């Protein structure tokens, strides 16, 4: 689908932009402080870009089915049990993300007047990231359910297991 | 009581195979939807947002980017050269060099699994070709990664410091001696295995000063980095988050202008990989915001502390009991998840018992990370054995001497808190 191709590309570019902006904002904060000229709004910008980075990154990970999970136990279970669990989990995840998206949106609109530290930006932009991110996650999860089915939606594209610590 | 139910719900969802981030988010948020909770539902979402609004937390994405940049910047390959020269003359020289390499890399990367995976790809097959047992190769590569868990800049210690409100700078400096002690312990264990299984040295003689000098020179900018980092944090030139930003800049400059191996395309690749890694790990951190709030709100640490401290009065005994508990949990549950769930509970408990939270942090990080290298559920083990195609059974038998080395080191740290506290007390 040509629509999804552009959709994915735009999302990746937005995510990379947010990531780069986060790094730059911390760098500006750090350089400013070491030169004795602290840029008071830079940390706020960094934190704002961070939550957007996280939500875009989380969605990219969702598209690949790579969110960390423990599959050791369920892999041993019969296929029917696996399927039942996947159906229940899918329902819970969608309800939870819907809750986060809607409440996040309300909070964001309610907080629009509140200023984000010294940056002059609205605190609503921070909350908005969560709401938009949850919306993106819902879309990606539904896309996976359609293309991979209930059990496959939770499994990574290849068998790569990743974690960080 | 309610918080126990929520914890059990989270664990059940995780065991049932739900992605950890969602399991924790759903269990934590459900508290706010209970009829007995008088807090508004929106508090759940507010806590998730609040979890992201922290400057110290910015160290996590920055060190993730750094880890991904290191390979393409040519830093890794130079450290491999140095490690091989330094230890090639020993029995089991290749295995020893992977341990030294983990120590060198530990000063730059912060992730045990990333370290093990990288080494398994580069050094795994060459070791097997030289006659090393596949299981042992896997074990030494995976467990060597544990050194990165305590050496700064360890991602785990950043998270622990952030959640437990413990100074990340102190934690970083406290991790140095334990990191080197662990390297020593693993080298002793490897040397025992090398004798037992008759692994040969890679070189037939000691390296000459000239050879060491050549490799130190070629890896100079990579070796200098952790030193600059620690000096900077120690003298307050920058906070750990700022250090992360400078580190990324440093890696870019070295990669583009000094080693000239970095290209724009490689940087973009590293950023895309980082974006995914950040999304994966930090979504868990954000969603655990509600969970941490419930635990604090319900005064769980205080109840546990009261209970534990009436049962056990001696801090060392308490530390051993908690360590045993962490070792078992670590074998079953992923390290990041354990740190996120348990740090807010355990730090107040151990502090009340008179244990320094910095000391405890090093013990906790070592044990929960080690759990990822052991059966039955170990991400490092799965990763390395996946890359090397070694059987879990073989891996498990071969890891025993190394595991003993790790446990001896943990016992030493528990018995002698000065191993962790000496440097931060002297320096900070």
Residue range of the domain that includes A42: 2-164
Nearest-angstrom CA–CA distance, B180 and B88? 19
Task: List Cα–Cα distances, B27 to B4, B22, B292, B339, B354, in angstroms.
Answer: 11, 8, 11, 17, 32
Q: Once rounded to an integer, what is the mean pLDDT over residues B97-116?
A: 80
- Shortest Cα–Cα distance, B308 to chain A (Å): 29
Report the residue from A85, A99, A165 with minimal CB separation from B29. A99
Task: Give B-chain residues touching A46 at CB under 8 angstroms.
Answer: 55, 58
Task: List Cα–Cα distances, B419 to A17, B104, B150, B326, B428, in angstroms.
Answer: 43, 20, 12, 20, 15
Task: Verify whether the Cβ–Cβ distance B241 to A74 is below 8 Å.
Answer: no
pLDDT score of A71: 76
Task: Verify whether the Cβ–Cβ distance A96 to B26 is below 8 Å.
Answer: yes
Task: Give B-chain residues touching A164 at CB under 8 angstroms.
Answer: 64, 111, 113-114, 155, 277, 280-281, 336
User: What percent of chain B is predicted at pLDDT more than 70?
Assistant: 99
Task: Give A-chain residues touching B19 at CB under 8 angstroms.
Answer: 67-69, 93, 154
Q: In a structure prediction context, what are the per-residue pLDDT tens digits for chain A, which is 165 residues long?
A: 799 999 999 999 999 999 999 999 999 998 998 888 888 889 999 999 999 999 999 999 999 988 878 777 788 889 999 999 999 999 999 999 999 999 999 999 988 888 877 777 888 999 999 999 999 999 999 999 999 889 888 887 654 444 444
Please say if the pLDDT value at position B10 is more than 60. Answer: yes
Distance of CA B184 to the CA centre of its chain: 18
Domain count, chain A: 1
Burial tier of A1 (Cβ tally within 10 Å: 0-12, 13-18, 19+)? exposed
Please say if the pLDDT value at position B40 is more than 50. Answer: yes
Report the residue from B62, B239, B333 with minimal CB separation from A23. B62
Please say if the pLDDT value at position B150 is more than 90. Answer: no
Range with lowest mean pLDDT among A84-98, B110-124, B145-159: B110-124
Mutation test of the interface with chain B: which of A50, A66, A82, A163, choosing the one with the most B Cβ atoms within 10 A? A163
Report the residue from A23, A59, A126 with minimal CB separation from B65. A23
Task: Verify whether the Cβ–Cβ distance A12 to B238 is below 8 Å.
Answer: no
Residue B381 banded pLDDT, cuts 50, 70, 90? confident
Task: Give B-chain residues touching A128 at CB under 8 angstroms.
Answer: none
Burial tier of A114 (Cβ tally within 10 Å: 0-12, 13-18, 19+)? exposed
Residue A114, token pair as written in the block: 């509140």
Task: Give A-chain residues touching B156 at CB under 8 angstroms.
Answer: 165
Report the residue from B45, B65, B280 with minimal CB separation from A68. B280
Residue B98, token pair as written in the block: 């992977």
Q: Which residues contact A165 (CB under 8 A, 6 or more apart)?
A: B110, B111, B112, B113, B149, B154, B155, B156, B159, B335, B336, B339, B369, B372
Q: What is the pTM assigned to this prediction?
A: 0.85
Please say if the pLDDT value at position B110 is more than 70. Answer: no
pLDDT score of B107: 63
Smallest CA–CA distance from B156 into chain A, residue: A165
Report the residue from A60, A72, A73 with minimal CB separation from B279. A60
pLDDT score of B143: 95
Instruction: Return the sign of the alpha-carbon dihedral for residues B253, B256, B260, B262.
Output: positive
Q: Do B206 and B192 contact (CB within 8 A), yes or no? A: no
Task: Verify whether the Cβ–Cβ distance B241 to A15 is below 8 Å.
Answer: no
Task: Verify whether the Cβ–Cβ distance A107 to B17 is below 8 Å.
Answer: no
* Top-ranked range on mean pLDDT: pick from A140-154, B102-116, B325-339: A140-154
Task: Give B-chain residues touching A59 at CB under 8 angstroms.
Answer: 279
Q: Once rounded to an integer, what is the mean pLDDT over residues B188-203?
A: 92
Q: Once rounded to an integer, what is the mean pLDDT over residues B314-323?
A: 93
Size of interface A-B (CB pairs under 8 A): 224
Q: Once rounded to an integer, what is the mean pLDDT over residues B156-179?
A: 92
Task: Verify whether the Cβ–Cβ distance B113 to A154 is below 8 Å.
Answer: no
Report the residue from A46, A100, A162 with minimal CB separation from B45. A100
């Amino acid at each position: 689908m040509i629509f999804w191709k552009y959709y994915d590309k735009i999302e990746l570019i937005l995510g990379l932009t947010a990531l780069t902006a986060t790094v730059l904002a911390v760098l500006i904060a750090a350089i400013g402080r070491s030169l004795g000229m602290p840029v008071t709004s830079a940390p706020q910008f960094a934190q704002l870009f961070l939550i957007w980075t996280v939500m875009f990154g989380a969605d990219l990970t969702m598209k690949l089915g790579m969110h960390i999970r423990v599959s050791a136990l369920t892999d041993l279970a019969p296929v029917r049990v696996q399927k039942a669990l996947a159906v229940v989990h899918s329902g819970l995840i969608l309800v939870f993300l819907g809750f986060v998206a809607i409440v996040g949106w309300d909070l964001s609109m309610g907080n629009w007047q509140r200023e984000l530290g010294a940056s002059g930006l609205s605190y609503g932009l921070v909350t908005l990231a969560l709401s938009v991110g949850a919306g993106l996650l819902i879309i990606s999860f539904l896309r996976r359910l359609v293309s991979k089915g209930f059990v496959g939606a939770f499994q990574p594209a290849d068998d790569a297991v990743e974690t960080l610590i | 009581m309610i918080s126990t139910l929520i914890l059990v719900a989270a664990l059940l969802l995780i065991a049932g195979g739900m992605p950890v981030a969602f399991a924790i988010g759903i269990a934590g948020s459900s508290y706010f939807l209970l009829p007995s909770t008088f807090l508004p539902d929106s508090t759940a979402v507010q806590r998730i947002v609040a979890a992201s609004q922290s400057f110290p937390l910015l160290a996590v994405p920055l060190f993730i980017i750094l880890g991904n940049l290191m390979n393409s910047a040519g830093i890794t390959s130079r450290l491999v050269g140095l490690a091989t020269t330094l230890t090639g003359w020993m029995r089991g020289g290749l295995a020893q060099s992977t341990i030294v390499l983990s120590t060198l890399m530990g000063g730059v990367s912060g992730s045990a699994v990333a370290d093990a995976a990288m080494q398994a790809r580069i050094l795994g097959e060459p070791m097997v070709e030289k006659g090393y047992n596949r299981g042992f190769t896997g074990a030494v590569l995976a467990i060597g990664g544990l050194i990165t868990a305590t050496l700064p800049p360890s991602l785990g210690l950043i998270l622990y410091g952030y959640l437990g409100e413990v100074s990340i700078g102190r934690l970083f400096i406290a991790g140095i001696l334990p990191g080197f002690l662990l390297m020593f312990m693993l080298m002793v264990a490897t040397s025992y295995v090398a004798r037992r299984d008759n692994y040969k040295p890679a070189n037939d003689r000691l390296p000459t000063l000239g050879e060491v000098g050549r490799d130190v020179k070629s890896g100079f900018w990579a070796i200098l980095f952790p030193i600059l980092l620690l000096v900077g944090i120690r003298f307050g030139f920058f906070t750990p988050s700022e250090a992360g930003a400078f580190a990324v800049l440093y890696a870019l400059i070295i990669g583009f202008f000094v080693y000239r191996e970095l290209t724009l395309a490689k940087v973009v690749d590293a950023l895309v990989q980082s974006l995914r890694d950040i999304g994966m790990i930090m979504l868990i951190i954000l969603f655990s915001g509600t969970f941490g709030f419930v635990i604090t709100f319900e005064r769980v640490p205080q109840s546990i502390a009261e209970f534990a401290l009436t049962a056990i009065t001696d801090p060392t005994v308490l530390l051993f009991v908690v360590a045993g508990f962490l070792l078992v949990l670590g074998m079953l549950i992923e390290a990041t998840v354990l740190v996120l769930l348990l740090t807010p509970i355990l730090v107040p408990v151990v502090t009340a018992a008179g244990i320094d939270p910095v000391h405890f942090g090093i013990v906790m990080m070592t044990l929960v990370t080690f759990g990822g290298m052991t059966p039955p559920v170990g991400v490092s083990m799965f990763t390395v054995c996946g890359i090397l195609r070694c059987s879990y059974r073989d891996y498990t038998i071969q890891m025993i001497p190394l595991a003993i080395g790790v446990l001896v080191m943990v016992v030493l740290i528990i018995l002698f808190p000065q191993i962790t506290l000496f440097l931060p007390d002297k320096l900070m």
